Amino acid sequence: MQSRTPHARAGRPRSAAADAAILAATRAALVELGWSKLTLQDVATRAGVAKTTLYRRWAGKNELVVDAVAELFDELRLPDRGSLAADIEGVVLQFAAILARPEARSGLMAVVAESTRDAALRERIRTSIVDRQKRLVLQGRERAQARGELPGEDDAAAAARTADLIFDVVAGAVVHRTLVSAEPADEEWVRRFTQLLLLGLGDAARAGFAGTAGQGGPDGTDARGRDG
């Protein structure tokens, strides 16, 4: 957009370093103070920047924190552990680890809370966080289809809807477990959740939600085919 003109706009250009420093300072302040006690003056001071600079780039606390938190989730990677079940467990554990960090806990929920009254913020969350991380679901499905664990998709629209659904179920379950129920999403819980997700309520119930058994357990969709 700004590079269309052959020569840069007049005036002193914005400091590129400042942006990174501010986002890092925001996360640091979130860790120490939490959302409600976080002040923009404090963020500015930590970043070695004037409050004005901060307001020049973000409209307020909400927008700033969305960007700061969004970066946290960019480190999520879908590991290739050989089976869909193991892949899911891997990425869910990563997600749980991020949500165990205070800056993610306070920040994410706070901006979601604010977004209930602010469509622009809602859009920003969707763009910066939700849509960006849906790649994990798509990637996981492709890999599972390549392995033959999941059937191919004919209807692209339906496939997209399904990816959305799975994303909400997975992300929602982990968030609710860790933040609302306020219990840890530890390995055992992740294993049982994955089994439920893959097998469904009835089969998972019959399989005993074999979470405590550390013996390797179900290895994916095939785990169910026990009586085939």
Partner DNA sequence: CCATAAGCGAGACGGTACGTCTGGTCTTTCA
Partner DNA sequence: TGAAAGACCAGACGTACCGTCTCGCTTATGG
Shortest spacing between CB 109 and DNA, in angstroms: 17
Residue 10 or 182: which CB sits closer to DNA?
A: 10
- The pair of three-digit structure tokens given for residue 147, joined into one six-digit string: 């392995």
Rounded to an integer, what distance in angstroms lies between the CA atom of residue 89 and that of residue 179? 19
Say which entry of DNA, its own copies, none residue 90 contacts (CB below 5 to 8 A, set by partner kind): none
Rounded to an integer, what distance in angstroms lies between the CA atom of residue 10 and that of residue 56? 17
State phi, psi for 108 to the nearest 5 degrees: -60, -50
Shortest spacing between CB 138 and its own copies, in angstroms: 14
Say which entry of DNA, its own copies, none residue 63 contacts (CB below 5 to 8 A, set by partner kind): none
Rounded to an integer, what distance in angstroms lies between the CA atom of residue 221 and that of residue 228? 12
* Site for DNA, rule CB under 7 A: 7-15, 18, 37-42, 48-53, 55-57, 60-61
Say which entry of DNA, its own copies, none residue 7 contacts (CB below 5 to 8 A, set by partner kind): DNA
Burial 81-96 (b: 16+ CB within 10 A, else e): eebbbbbbbbbbbbbb
Say which entry of its own copies, DNA, none residue 227 contacts (CB below 5 to 8 A, set by partner kind): its own copies
Residue 35 or 189: which CB sits closer to DNA?
A: 35
